[in-house]
Every structure is written in C-alpha cells, then in structure tokens.
Amino acid sequence: MTAFRRSNVARLVSVLALPLVVVLAGCKPEAPAAPSAAVAPAGLVVPEKQQAEKLNAYVVAYNKLLQWHSFGKILRDYQRANPKIAKAGAPLDSYSFGGGDVDDALRAFDKAMAMTQPLPELDEPGKVLKAALEAVNPLIKEARTYESTKEYLSDKGAKARQMDAPLVAALGAANKATATFGTALSGQTLKRDEAELAALKPGTLGFHKLKVSLETRKLASAVKLALDDKQNVPAIDTALQAVSAANTELGTLRKDPKAPPAWDPVCAMYKDKIDTLIGGTRTLVSAMKDGSGKAVADAANQWFDMRNKAVDASNSCGD
C-alpha cells in the first residue's frame, strides 16, 4: 500500500472524514412522489419512520459535536502551546487548553440512544463514541479550570504534568471514535438519500439538487480514500464524472421553463461552486500523482475550502 506519509497530509485525512455528515440533514428536497410513481432500486430500503427519526437524532448529535470539537486539532494545539510540560521539573509560566466541554453533544447522543428502534450500524460506533466523550469531558473541564485559575503558577506545573498523559490519550481516543462514527453515519445518510432520490421525479429541483449532493459526498469519500492510499487516486475520476454529469443536469433547470438556455438559471451559484470544486479536484489529483507531500496538503486544504463553499451555496439553492 502506497500512502502519502507526510504528517500534514495524514491530518487532512481525518479532517476530511469528519465534516461529511454535517449538512446531510439540511438538504430538504421537494416532497417525494406517491409510492406508485417510483420504484426504489434493488437493495435499498426506505427507512421506517422510527428509524428515520433515530437517524436524524444521530445527525443532530454529531453536528453538535462537530460544531465546536475537532479533537485532533485540539490535541495538536494543546501540545504545541505547552512544550514545557515535557520538560520534567521546569516551572510553567503559562498553560493553554482550547477545547470546550461536550455536555450538549452528550445530551444529544443520550436522546438518540434512548430511542428503542435499533440501528446497529450506528448504535455500536455510537456507544464507543459516547464512552470516549464521557471519558474526555471531565478532563477537558479540569484542564480549562487549571488554565483559568492559573494554578500552574503556584504548583510549578505539577498538576499539568499529572493531567497530561490521561488528557492526551482521551483526546486521541475521542478523535478516533468521532471519525469512525462519522464514517458510519455518512454511509447511512447516503443510503437514506439514495432511497429518497429514487422516489423523486427527475426534472424537479429536489431531484437534481439531491443528486448533486449525493455525488459530491461520494466524491468526498473517494478523495479521503485516495489520501489514505495513493493507489485509490484513479477512482476519483469516476466519482468526478458523476458529479460533473449531475451538475450539468442541475444547470439545465430554469425558473421559467420557456426561457432561453442562458437565461434565468436555477441554483446558478451552487452550480458555479460545484464547477470550482471539480476544478479543485483535478488540481488535487494532479498533486497526488506528481507533487510533494506539501503540494498534496495544500491542494487538499483548498479542496476542502471549496467543498465548504459549495455546501454553503446549496443552502440557497431553490430559495
């Protein structure tokens, strides 16, 4: 297996994995046609109401977590800001910890897990994530109190060194559990939205907007796999072609169906942002094939920014 081994690229892999689900619950296309009007593809099962409610509850909980917590970044910033902790006996004249508690996220996960309808694909990684959050939460609060009270000035950093190993381990475990749950949640929401797409009528805004969203999320997964392993780079092209085709279809929609092709497009800004993302993907692929680790990291950062802007543009598509 050939991977991009530079540390900055490795960090991007985890960053790309996390936000894939953030906007999934926000895409609300037109109401599906009557069941008799569309047949779901083989292998896809439209979730029952209770399953859908639990899935949405997990999305809400995960969004609450991602809104303020990137545990990998919190850990890196903490270690970068406190180098003296590693120097035994050296008194501390400063201490910094940038993470906040996860009380809101834990309450949201409690609410999701209290729903009796089983979703084993999410319940199991959800339990692991919740346990990791419960372990890291008191340590985060302790570190924040230590920082705000400046206790390090009186104890010369003794407590900071005592807290350090458990805090680092807990942040690492929370980061891993968050990424694992995010991958599972992304898979489930993709399955849900593919089933919903099958029930929508082609030619409607809801159908084509959701199709672009689905293909873009599949592209994001392909990008992550390629950053994990260089051998997966060729697979990006297939995902990219699907995004391009879906975006072209979206660009054919008009507010006035009788209007000329170049006039009055629907979701023009969203389409433009997806076009930019397509270009950024080709830049990233070129860097992964021929560039250095830094070039890949820079291109991946730019790609991620483009994807965020496309997500923002999708929120106004159809308004």
Whether residue 27 has pLDDT greater than 90: no
- Whether 191 and 53 map to the same domain: the answer is yes
- Whether 77 and 225 map to the same domain: the answer is no
Structural domain count, the chain = 2
Nearest to 265 by CA among 313, 213, 212, 318: 318
Compute, in degrees rounded to 10, the torsion defined by CA atoms 48, 51, 57, 59.
-90
- Whether 26 and 70 map to the same domain: the answer is no
- Whether 188 and 315 map to the same domain: the answer is no
Query: In this predicted structure, what is the pLDDT of residue 7?
Result: 42
Query: In this predicted structure, what is the pLDDT of residue 12?
Result: 42
- Whether 189 and 209 map to the same domain: the answer is no
- Whether 16 and 43 map to the same domain: the answer is no
- Whether 171 and 233 map to the same domain: the answer is no
Query: In this predicted structure, what is the pLDDT of residue 253?
Result: 87
Q: Which of 174, 198, 222 is the last residue of a domain?
A: 198
Residue 51 — very low, low, confident or very high, per pLDDT cuts 50/70/90?
Answer: confident
- Whether 179 and 129 map to the same domain: the answer is yes
Phi-psi region of 117 (alpha: psi -120 to 50; beta: other; left: phi over 0): beta
- Whether 208 and 282 map to the same domain: the answer is yes
Q: Are 97 and 49 in contact (CB under 8 A)?
A: no
Query: In this predicted structure, what is the pLDDT of residue 319?
Result: 59
Per-residue pLDDT tens digits for 139-194: 999 999 999 999 999 999 999 999 999 999 999 999 999 999 998 998 899 888 89
Higher pLDDT, 163 or 319: 163
Q: Which of 162, 180, 198 is the last residue of a domain?
A: 198
Note if the pTM is more than 0.85. no
- Whether 226 and 308 map to the same domain: the answer is yes
- Whether 59 and 183 map to the same domain: the answer is yes
Query: In this predicted structure, what is the pLDDT of residue 172?
Result: 96
Nearest to 159 by CA among 250, 243, 95: 95
Q: Using CA atoms, how far apart are residues 95 and 150, in angstroms rounded to an integer?
A: 8
Q: How far is CA 21 from CA 4, 182, 189, in A?
A: 24, 7, 8
Q: What does the mean pLDDT of the chain come to?
A: 84
Query: The CATH number of the domain where 165 resides is what?
Result: 1.20.120
Whether residue 17 has pLDDT greater than 50: no
Whether residue 195 has pLDDT greater than 70: yes
The boundaries of the domain holding residue 239 are: 1-35+201-319
Q: Which of 198, 232, 263 is the last residue of a domain?
A: 198
Per-residue pLDDT tens digits for 270-303: 999 999 999 999 999 999 998 788 899 899 989 9
Query: In this predicted structure, what is the pLDDT of residue 156?
Result: 93
Per-residue pLDDT tens digits for 62-104: 988 987 778 988 999 999 999 999 998 899 999 999 989 999 9
Query: In this predicted structure, what is the pLDDT of residue 89?
Result: 84
Q: Using CA atoms, how far apart are residues 319 and 316, in angstroms rounded to an integer?
A: 5
- Whether 88 and 229 map to the same domain: the answer is no
Higher pLDDT, 308 or 77: 77
Query: The CATH number of the domain where 300 resides is what?
Result: 1.20.1420
Q: Using CA atoms, how far apart are residues 156 and 85, in angstroms rounded to an integer?
A: 10
Whether residue 128 has pLDDT greater than 50: yes
Per-residue pLDDT tens digits for 248-257: 999 888 877 7
Query: In this predicted structure, what is the pLDDT of residue 309?
Result: 87
Query: In this predicted structure, what is the pLDDT of residue 68?
Result: 74
For the four alpha carbons of 273, 225, 5 and 80, in that order, the dihedral sign comes to: positive
CA max distance for the chain: 78
Averaged over 121-137, what is the pLDDT?
Answer: 97
Averaged over 306-318, what is the pLDDT?
Answer: 84
Averaged over 115-129, what is the pLDDT?
Answer: 94
Helix %, strand %, coil % of the chain (to 5): 70, 0, 25
Higher pLDDT, 11 or 211: 211
**Token code pair at residue 16:** 């790309």
